Amino acid sequence: MIDLHSHSDRSDGALPPAGLLALAAANGVLGLALTDHDTTAGLDEAAAAARSHGVEFVPGTEISAAWHSQTIHVLGLWIDPACAVLRQAMAAQLDRRRRRLRAICDLLSHKGLPGERLHAMVEARSEVPTRTHLAAALVEEGCVRDARDAFRLHLGRGRAAHVAANWPPLDEVVGWILAAGGIASLAHPTRYALSSTALHRLLADFVAAGGRSLEIACGGNAAHHVGNCAALAIRYGLEVSVGSDFHGPQLPWNPLGRLAKLPDGTTPVWRNRGLHGHRDG
């Protein structure tokens, strides 16, 4: 079993990288990519833990990008975290995240919520501030019932405290991944608010930018969904990746490493790249 999309507490996951690898080994995952949002901070710890558990490790990251005012996530797989271009890019992403956190908390304050306090809580807890952290802080402060409500009422698209982060354009983000010797895989293509026509344009632009792979199965995606994504991958000449998008054991319906079977005709991104743990590739 191969899982090429997961998060640790270096971004918005619950487990430290070593704990994530221990769980992967226990779940029978043979190859795992750690793909924290806009950071490579957990990769050394994860690689060392992978060696001790006999799990094949893929150094990765999930980078936030902009495409026609939509936020798009691009997985960088087999990246070299020491690459100077990538390091500088990650520093800039962190800066964007910090500025957005400030802006969101100011909007929360305007709504009568304890913006300053929420800001301090998130800053204290994470190097890489995400809306997941802010949602957790809103729950802890008793402002909302759960994280879902935090997004539904405040942080999600169209809500009063939604701030469109100033993410760099898609082609620039793909360029960072290529500079770091990595493979760019477009994450969870059906999670974006795009028409079918727009999704086709996105894929064409992604390929033109140097994107190589499409994440056709993410978490518990249904078989028909995986089949549709596989057809898109084949049409655009893209290899395919699969991943759980695991964030922590608190979401038991999305375990690390439970993944769909690869549809016929697809080329797994790990074929000929030194991963052996999947019956389909």
**Site residues, ligand AMP (CB under 6 A):** 12, 37, 64, 130-132, 147-148, 151, 156, 247
One-letter identity of residue 78: W
Residue 151: name its binding partner from Mn ion, ligand AMP, none (Cβ under 5 to 8 Å by kind): ligand AMP
**Closer of 132 and 244 to ligand AMP (Cβ):** 132
Least distance from Mn ion to the Cβ atom of residue 75, Å? 8
Give the span between the Cα atoms of 17 and 9, in whole angstroms: 7
Alpha carbons within 13 A on the beta-carbon side of 208:
8
* By CB under 5 A, residue 73 contacts Mn ion: yes
Residue 119: name its binding partner from ligand AMP, Mn ion, none (Cβ under 5 to 8 Å by kind): none
Q: Hey, what are 4's tokens?
A: 């090429």
**Closer of 109 and 258 to Mn ion (Cβ):** 258
Least distance from ligand AMP to the Cβ atom of residue 263, Å? 26
Least distance from ligand AMP to the Cβ atom of residue 239, Å? 23
**Closer of 64 and 266 to ligand AMP (Cβ):** 64
3-state secondary structure of 273: coil
* By CB under 5 A, residue 245 contacts Mn ion: yes
Cβ-based neighbours of 204, under 8 Å, separated by 6 or more: 236
Least distance from ligand AMP to the Cβ atom of residue 204, Å? 25
Cβ-based neighbours of 262, under 8 Å, separated by 6 or more: 216, 230, 240, 242, 268, 278, 280, 281
Give Cα separations from 83 to 50, 75, 166, 177, 239 (angstroms): 22, 16, 23, 10, 24
Give burial (CB, 10 Å; 0-12/13-18/19+) of 94: middle
Least distance from ligand AMP to the Cβ atom of residue 99, Å? 12
Least distance from Mn ion to the Cβ atom of residue 6, Å? 8
**Closer of 22 and 251 to ligand AMP (Cβ):** 251
Residue number with the smallest Cβ distance to Mn ion: 73
Q: Report residue 207 CA to chain centroid gap.
A: 19
**Closer of 220 and 277 to ligand AMP (Cβ):** 220
